[in-house]
């Protein structure tokens, strides 16, 4: 780009991105050519409100095969974003919408030598259930959609990462997205009735018990359901098992503490993991990278927390 400054050699591009022409936070159609991969995590997203917003650039491989219990919904802004999903190789191009269902294994890498630039939101299925009211979670086949309803419904949630989204706007946008997902997914197979309120009581119990061991018997007592009915309903409503849901919320706590400056070993202990290596194994399975590497890609303030 004529007249533009050269990017720094370090993984942190925050300062350069803020001043360089083609800043992806202000110009969504322009992809910088940095010397290192980067992730920009919106300061307005958080691990406590059920939604995370990121923007990232990768030259080659982005993430190893992994799975998380949230929906991953996003757009490729430039390049070809390739990933393996449900036995197929998918190639995401600008103009479409990626929709990855909770707990479905996937990876991510560049489909060409130019790298890929994308934005993604990660949404707790519990937020969609507030709109769907206990219906089956929408499943968009193939992981990719060109449906204009989905593209329009993600517009406000996938805008520049520095643009704050207030609580009411987020709630409205999530409602619209839930309805669009449900419409695009089409009719789900019929199933036996589920107890949404009981499953929600179990979910809330786990959120209050992140630092302690939780048994299925405890959850059943809190929910007022038998163990196996609760486990079945929880999976149907929230896309994952109670055990995995609790593990993912503990990992969210680790990330929140690490970004605040807490050493990873202390963050792991505070979140109920046996030790740092135990937490790291779960972290890599959930996000495809080790926690220290994730922090490095976020920038200097995060790198200082290792």
Cα–Cα distance list, 155 to 89, 176, 272 (Å): 26, 11, 37
Number of structural domains (the chain) is 3
pLDDT tens per residue across all 306 residues of the chain = 333 333 333 333 333 333 333 334 434 444 445 567 888 888 766 555 778 999 999 988 888 888 889 999 999 999 999 999 999 999 999 999 999 999 999 999 999 988 999 999 999 999 998 888 888 889 998 999 999 999 999 998 998 788 778 888 888 999 999 999 999 987 666 667 889 999 999 999 999 998 888 999 999 999 999 999 999 999 989 989 999 999 999 999 999 999 989 999 999 999 999 999 999 999 999 988 899 999 988 875 444 433
- The answer to whether residue 83 sits within a structural domain is yes
Question: 141 and 48, same structural domain?
Answer: yes
The neighbour count for residue 216, using CB atoms within 10 Å, is 16
Looking at the fold, whether 38 and 174 belong to one and the same domain comes out as yes
Shared domain for 77 and 207, answered yes or no, is: no
9 in any annotated domain: no
Q: Is residue 7 part of a domain?
A: no
Identify whether the C-beta of residue 40 lies closer than 8 Å to the C-beta of residue 68: no
- 205 & 268 share domain: no
Residues 130, 269: one domain?
no
Angle between helices 227-238 and 242-259 (to 10 degrees): 60
Co-location of 112 and 230 in the same domain: no
Assigned domain for 118 exists: yes
Same structural domain for residues 144 and 221? no
Overall pTM surpassing 0.85 (yes/no): no
Structure tokens, 288: 């495809």
The residue behind tokens 């993984």 is: 11
The CATH number linked to 251 is: 1.10.10.60
H/E element, 65: strand 61-66
Q: Does residue 72 share a domain with residue 35? A: yes
Same domain, 118 and 70: yes
CB 123 within 8 A of CB 170: no
Same domain? For 166 and 23 the reply is yes
Q: Which residue segment(s) compose the domain that 234 sits in?
A: 196-239
pLDDT number for residue 102:
92
Last residue of a domain, one of 166, 185, 204: 185
Six token digits for residue 23:
């800043």
Query: CA quadruple 42, 250, 176, 88: dihedral positive or negative?
Result: positive
Is 200 inside a domain boundary?
yes
189-204 in b/e burial notation, b at 16+ Cβ within 10 A? Answer: eeeeebbbebbbbbbe
- The total of other beta-carbon atoms located within 10 Å of residue 1's CB is 10
Based on the fold, state whether residues 235 and 254 are members of the same structural domain. no
By CB neighbour count within 10 A (0-12 exposed, 13-18 middle, 19+ buried), where does 35 fall? middle
- DSSP string across 168-191: HHHHHHHHHHHHHHHHHH-PPPP-
In this structure, what CATH number is given to the domain that contains residue 45?
A: 2.60.120.10
Question: Please, which residues have CB within 8 angstroms of residue 158's CB and are 6 or more apart in sequence?
Answer: 53, 74, 75, 119, 120, 121
């Amino acid at each position: 780009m004529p007249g533009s400054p050269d990017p720094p050699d370090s993984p942190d591009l925050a300062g350069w991105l803020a001043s360089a022409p083609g800043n992806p936070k202000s110009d969504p159609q322009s992809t910088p050519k940095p010397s290192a991969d980067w992730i920009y995590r919106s300061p307005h997203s958080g691990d406590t409100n059920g939604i995370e917003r990121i923007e990232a650039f990768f030259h080659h491989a982005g993430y190893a095969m992994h799975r998380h219990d949230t929906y991953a919904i996003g757009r490729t802004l430039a390049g070809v974003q390739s990933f393996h999903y449900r036995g197929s190789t998918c190639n995401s191009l600008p103009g479409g919408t990626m929709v990855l269902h909770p707990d479905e294994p996937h990876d991510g890498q560049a489909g060409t030598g130019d790298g890929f630039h994308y934005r993604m939101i990660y949404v707790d299925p519990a937020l969609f259930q507030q709109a769907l009211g206990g219906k089956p979670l929408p499943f968009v086949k193939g992981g990719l959609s060109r449906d204009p309803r989905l593209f329009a419904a993600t517009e406000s949630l996938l805008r520049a990462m520095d643009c704050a989204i207030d609580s009411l706007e987020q709630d409205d946008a999530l409602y619209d997205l839930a309805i669009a997902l449900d419409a695009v997914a089409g009719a789900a197979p019929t199933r036996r009735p589920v107890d949404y309120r009981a499953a929600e009581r179990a979910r809330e119990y786990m959120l209050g018990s992140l630092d302690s061991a939780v048994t299925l018997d405890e959850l059943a007592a809190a929910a007022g359901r038998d163990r196996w009915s609760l486990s079945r309903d929880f999976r149907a409503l929230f896309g994952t098992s109670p055990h995995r849901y609790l593990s993912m919320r503990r990992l969210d706590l680790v990330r929140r503490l690490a970004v605040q400056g807490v050493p990873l070993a202390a963050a792991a202990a505070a979140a109920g993991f046996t030790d740092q290596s135990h937490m790291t194994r779960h972290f890599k399975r959930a996000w495809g990278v080790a926690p220290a590497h994730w922090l490095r890609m976020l920038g200097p303030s995060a790198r200082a927390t290792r």
